[in-house]
Chain A
């Protein structure tokens, strides 16, 4: 076996055997590292991580295991972010099914809901910026009836016979790329309307159907949640969601210490790790403690309404009874708990 040579013809000194021997050393070192993790060190990070790696699916954990998992996380986050971080595990409240209503006639597209959500829910701020809400800008007349027949792509060489609705220059009922990147000086613009989308908290969520490890599931109060620790990062849910609601942590989330919201929920806004999916949870850490979600509170025009769908006197139920309401992509039979309405 000749020794590998670099471009100058000199021996680089690395053979397969050398490599394997070094790999062996590395493996031994890794084992030693694990031993350090298990040992009683003062570093909360190393202690928590070891047990965290081997914890079970949140839904299958006993109460004791949940308690331990939460204590581990609180310890780790508190050390990591330099403040007292609490991790809530409040379960769904009996007799509550959360529902959301949004007045698209009122929305001015100011994106304050988007940023409020980021402040509340500890999303990655930069370098993969993650925002759970998208506000899509649409031109008035985009959905006019006469355009619905003009669906064929312009300058297409042959007729695919595919009806797509509108075309690239005058889309009809089609959301094109870049429609949520608008940046005028002031909103609302003339002849535009705005359409915020986020997780619709479906009754039959496609994301839950496809999750191969069942780490995302729908709780009895209607919130579709994710146990981030059990997520394997396969991104099937992102592909399955018809509402563009899920985001993926492609890198290590970038959450500055001073920006971090220390009141968190295990299934909600606790800091995420690299390689997990995340999405709107109706601010589970707030809503299960009775508080309005962050986006409802921040909306300067009061277009966002939130409440209990099982209570006939709640705001959302009154809107369903009194206003003209629709759900996005109702034809998909996902039964969203997010309603759009107009006065």
Chain B
């Protein structure tokens, strides 16, 4: 009799342990390893997870939003920021950026488009910067007469270099690399550019000390220059899927429990 009772206790305990272990495993959403994720803006700052050293990845990705959640090496895949026109925070310490050209060249069309198509002969250099309806590039700008940037004040060739499509254009017709879009954006967005130089606007990762090495985020890593107004939202930043809400406390069936069950005032 006793033996049976003990056995049943042991058995039920074992079952309980196995079940709770199973529940723990099922709740742990991060068991799904996401390899391809994005840093700041979706479809604009991709990064691939890989191990820098065994058990130490370059990034950890969220299984919910597929955004980067953690940097194992903040300087992974970066290059020096390069010359900047004005002495500022980036002049001290080491300022590095993740180059934008590999992203622009993700379909291996960067060189083909700039050298084979926009070579001045196949596609002639336009005589004027006046907006006109484009048949091409609808994946980037669906309607070229309704560019979601500058509210009708600017058009493609205010930023893209008409003479050399592999570059952007500065105020004097000079070339700006796609890796340094801040030089271009600063032409118009002066106060934002100033805040960015001082580390108030935008994002930097790495070392907090002013002399420390930092990776600076450049404009196009967060903002989509071809859709910066975001239509009615009128915001520079596109919407993102959020991470999961916290677990409800034990015994709380829903978030409105107090108000629904116990009346107003709670």
- The reply on A42 being an interface residue by CB < 8 A is no
Of B208, B244, B257, which contacts A292 at CB under 8 A?
A: B208
> A177-B259, A302-B201 are known contacts. Are A110 and B70 too (CB-CB below 8 A)?
no
Docked CA distance A167–B39 (Å): 40
Q: Which residues of A contact B204 (CB under 8 A)?
A: 292, 302
B interface SS class: loop
Also in contact, A181 and B205, with CB within 8 A (given A112-B69, A167-B265): no
Q: Are A127 and B27 in contact (CB-based, < 8 A)?
A: yes
Which residues of chain A are near B140, meaning CB under 8 Å?
Answer: none
- B186 within 8 Å of A (CB atoms): no
Q: Could you tell me the distance between the alpha carbons of A302 and B202 in the complex, rounded to whole angstroms?
A: 5
Q: Which of B198, B203, B241 contacts A185 (CB 8 A)?
A: B241
> Do B39 and A300 touch across chains, with their CB atoms under 8 A apart?
yes
Q: How far is the CB of A190 from chain B (nearest CB, A)?
A: 8
Total interface residues on B, using CB and 8 Å?
58
A168 and B27 contact, Cβ closer than 8 Å, known pairs A181-B245, A302-B201: no
Chain-B contact segment, one of A25-33, A46-54, A210-218, A310-318: A310-318
Contact B243 A111 (CB under 8 A): yes
A306 in contact (CB, < 8 A):
yes
Given contacts A126-B28, A292-B207, contact A318 B200 (CB under 8 A): yes
Interface flag for A114 (CB, 8 Å):
yes
Chain B residues, Cβ within 8 Å of A73: none
Binding site for B on A (CB under 8 A): 83, 106, 108-112, 114-116, 119-120, 125-129, 131, 134, 153-156, 167-169, 176-178, 180-188, 190, 254, 256, 259, 262, 287, 290-292, 294, 296-302, 305-308, 311, 313-315, 318-319, 322-323, 343
Q: Which 5 A-B pairs have CB atoms at the shortest separation, nearest pair first?
A: A178-B255, A302-B203, A111-B243, A153-B265, A186-B239
Q: List 24 A-B contacts (CB under 8 A).
A: A106-B237, A110-B241, A116-B70, A127-B24, A127-B27, A129-B246, A153-B264, A154-B265, A155-B264, A156-B265, A177-B258, A186-B241, A254-B24, A259-B28, A292-B204, A292-B207, A292-B208, A297-B70, A300-B39, A302-B203, A302-B222, A307-B208, A307-B210, A314-B210
